[in-house]
Structure 1
Amino acid sequence: MTHPTKAQRDQGRAERNGFRFPQGVQPVDPLAPTPGYVVSFEQADGGGDEGWEEWPDRYVYEAVVSADRLASLARALFALLPSRVHPILDVLSEDVHRDVDPYIAYERVGLDRFFEEFEALRDWLLEDGLVGFGAMAEEPFLYVYIDEHKIVTVRCEASLRPVVEQTLGAFDLEELDELAAVDAVEHEHLSVLPWPEERAPALSPFEARLETLCDAWKLVLNLDDVANVDEEGRPVGVTPWKLLIRVGEPGEPHAPRRFETVVLASSLRDAYDASLEAIVDYADHTPTHDLQPPPGSESDHSSFASEPADSLEGRRATLLSAVRLLLDPTLRQAVDDASSDAARVVAVTPLQPCDQR
């Protein structure tokens, strides 16, 4: 994962033979994609323990289009969805044992709410090489997703094939024998947002957008909170976790407050529970004047406005992100000293809101 400097971002997007790539996905090896799509068939599967209905037999379309036409194609395909959908968001992860942080809305949201945030954050969603997003509906079954390479995937039941192919055809996309996309060659993933070289005591612009979508699209981080394993399912034991947690909801009398914690724990659930206890304890023992924004801060809506020290008790907490860290010497010693049965909080850092939306 790479966060470029402003100078790197200002170099603009790559273009090959008239095909424009997203700013956040840069091919390294030679590649000249041909706009078009491939189609395949998948048999029914799904269901299980997560509350989803079984996905029916479906056709899968994977499409590539130049970046200057992607927004219009996305609107046309999302418009095929019914009035209520399950939004999806994937973020390339900083976790040392996982490639992607998956977010899903188990509760359906109105398609108008989905479109509202899509339009508000369109440039970021369609250009940033660290995020993929989309939405799905179960009746009729339709799944529309734009991944971190900005390849468009549509899964649909047989009855929707004509309208999907008609929509793709309206953008001059024809069926190909093979898809030539940027993921077929060596390439780089970049964020189009500024990213501080050192962690500032405030949300980054990337994290602020993540929080916005979690609220508007009712997204939750879709991770196993009990088993601490790598992507091959192998246990990794006690690991250092970095969690981003918001306490409170927008619109409440007291503004929400955000905290970053570092915790040694054998599961996400233990790390989260220990973080909440530490955050409440931190607020109980921190004078309110210590929670004010620093002198000269331009923020006029700081979440650290004066409020009772115990105001965090009973307020709803939202887990915005959770990643496992590399072991530096300090953390390695802490892990060696930690009990496998008890989580240990190493740090609690209050974060100010982000002024750059």
Structure 2
Amino acid sequence: MKHAVHRQPLLLSSARHLLRSLGLTAVRTSSSVTSYRLRRWAGTHNAAQPVPVEMARVLVDHNEELTDLRRRYQAVASPLRPGRFWRHNTRQRDFNLRYFRGDNAYVWQLRQLGENPKLKTYLYARYVAAMDERGLLGRLAEDGAFGCWTFSYRSLPLVSRDLLDSVNEIYFLDRHWGLLSRQGYTVLDVGAGYGRLAHRMVEACPGLHRYLCVDAIAESTFLSRQYLRFRGVDDRAVVLDLDEWEEKAAAARPDLAVNVHSFSEMPMSAITAWIGMLARLEVPALLIVPNEGAELLSHEDDYARLDFSPVLAEHGYTLAASEPIIRDDDVRELTGLRDHFLLFVRSGADGRGTGLSPT
């Protein structure tokens, strides 16, 4: 069942997306003034770290593997295909193949932070460091490759939004699902992007058996396969093509599915299809990180936002844990990072239960 929500925010959201479709962004002129000015937005990247020569040869628009993936994905007659949000030319232009880890459609490293990004990243990094009892910030190193914006501080290792988000997500799953102490489990990443979380989780989680990546965007499948191979984690992080993923995922029997800022960019038809497949696969636990706080809203082709929480309920997924990604009220206010972690569980018919941590 589809439910329209929040009429006034819906109108504002629709206006913003219309501006983006024209290559424009609405920007608040000050914290106390409600008028807006327009500016043309283009994603940025940090070119200080050269792209490795062997990767520069591969990360080109005419790459044969990428061309083949585009052709095959275009031919897939499935509701899993992306809606207007990702099909539109402005979204496809919002990343550079060689600098895919820059500020772009995959990770809003800088634009979400607004002014003083180094200060706000420091606050976020200190927050993550305070919970980092396993020393992940030191173990999961950041090198700034492929255009990633990084920040250096005297008291911290080199950090990026990629690194901080990944470590934060891992610790949430450890608190509520026992991620770092489990053994022999498989994770399925729906909307895996360039493989950010796959890379970090393989390096952080000794008990992880397999991490499966699937995405309806041909460029994402291509990039994640190249990136995970470059990072040397493709023995456990496996990229599945859209036209053959379900059979392979069924054979792997995933214990956990993750969807980070992906359902929020899909129409209801695609969300319903993905969740239905997760239910058929009897995946017992599902992490969702939406784009609008704790609200579960689709992104329709006419820019409407629809509540997809009833779809989760209809397929047996119930909310087991909900936290803002930054639990410290002051840090959350100062950084403006108000996303939420939402963990859903489903009692499977195969005896795996909810998959929740016994603690």
TM-score bracket for the superposition, by shorter chain length? under 0.3
Q: TM-score, normalised by structure 1?
A: 0.24
Structure number having the greater helix percentage = 2
Question: Could you say which structure has the larger radius of gyration?
Answer: 1
Structure number having the greater strand percentage = 1
Q: TM-score, normalised by structure 2?
A: 0.24
